[in-house]
Structure 1
């Protein structure tokens, strides 16, 4: 009876995790398998497995979407968003964690409260108007500046948790050696943030690489500047049918490959960056 009590909770956990895994992976599996189907089969067949694997979908999608140009645009946009997000998130977290000034707790509390507020597309028009005023409304630099200066609250929260695990004695020793506040950040603290940098980098990469609405609006009048996701969505209207889902799904499958590769290489640092503050702080 005692053995049953010990085994049963484990069994329930494994069953729950297995069900969660299936629910999480099913959209990805369906996407990959559907990318090998014909358009008519996607619309009429109820089976997730294709009757015949059509590899030509990928070559057609590559040609129609101008993947070389769109992929370069996505890499260009994503690179600057990642670098900017790492700098802004870690700098703000350092100031809020190590800085001493009036109203710090209030500012931090107000900043974190925005995690529970989602403006969605309602903020799109004001952002576009501000970008027009600065002359960056028809390029990817408008998207980059908005995403970087918009500062992701989740990334700052993770950075704050990680920095709490770094002993304050390091700061005190640096002050004795004559380091100023921001020199301590750049020369002492920042080199210790490798797992955190990988975590923020991966979060920023995923968000920037998958971003659709803002880049679509900012490159509407200049399609040559469109990133990959915007180009992939346009594949739906490139075929003979009203909606060429096979082309779009094939393009999407190609587009998720970089995300999978990046996650495989950064997974260890990603988990360490997320859990470090929770374990040590």
Structure 2
């Protein structure tokens, strides 16, 4: 009987392990397939893509990358994307850290209402409905023809990041705040000298999320730069590659541009993945 139980447990354990690996394999395939398809598609001819050729290119057309780089003026649009994404990242990290600190440490009138509104915005997506009033507001402020309009528009909607920082801050002992106040620190001193240095792991997560969202954004960047094409970001420029002077959609050139546009976000993740994982883990435990 004991031997049969051991065999049954052994089979159950193996089934569980195989099931986990199958599940992980499916997730990996669904995650990597779009990237692999984009890279391989960027090396095909337009005819191969539109007529449904094989998965791998019949011939490797690396000249697609040169055409994409020249047609899209990637240098100019890459600079725009770097300026926008970096600015959004810094602003998001600063505003989320301050908002998360106040929500975690202070009680004030209307706090519950504010948090309820923040929570509702996390689950109710208004999407493009909000773009017109945002654009009109920025136009009234005479900012619609500057790159600051896009930066401000992309910095908004940080409710999820605010709650990440708030949950992390709640895990920091309040005794540290009290000790700092006894030593003469003001509220700003507690934030800058105690909370901010200890919040680096979760701020790395916020920064990476913000950079990724700003770099990959299309619709907001398109609307905010529609009257100023020279301020367009790389994502908008890549989509424009599809429209050629020959009146035919050049998907191979667009995929080549998309492959180039993927590189910076991969580089950022490779350098920040340790802080990203550490921040998510710390936030999960302390939140």
Give me the whole-angstrom Cα distance separating, in 2, the residues matched to 1:254 and 1:274: 28
When structure 1 is superposed on structure 2, of 92-101 and 103-112 the one drifting more is 103-112
Residue equivalent to 1:8: 15
Residue equivalent to 2:242: 236
| Structure number with bigger Rg | 2
Give me the whole-angstrom Cα distance separating, in 2, the residues matched to 1:279 and 1:86: 21
Per-residue deviation, 1:138: 2.2
1:182-207 CA-partner distances (Å, limit 9, x unpaired): 22101221111221121111000100
Residue equivalent to 1:24: 31
Q: SS at 2:270's partner residue?
A: helix
Unaligned runs of 5+ in 2: 1-7
Give runs of aligned pairs for residues 4-83 of structure 1, distance below 5 A: 4-83=11-90
1:118-166 CA-partner distances (Å, limit 9, x unpaired): 1111111111111110011122211111222x24111112111211221
Q: CA RMSD in A?
A: 1.3
1:61-110 CA-partner distances (Å, limit 9, x unpaired): 00100001000000111111011000111110000001122332332122
TM-score (norm 2): 0.94
TM-score (norm 1): 0.96
1:6-41 CA-partner distances (Å, limit 9, x unpaired): 221121111111111111111111001000001111
Residue equivalent to 2:140: 133
Unaligned runs of 5+ in 1: none
Residue equivalent to 2:169: 163
When structure 1 is superposed on structure 2, of 105-114 and 70-79 the one drifting more is 105-114
Residue equivalent to 1:91: 98
Aligned length: 280
Moved over 6 A (4+): none
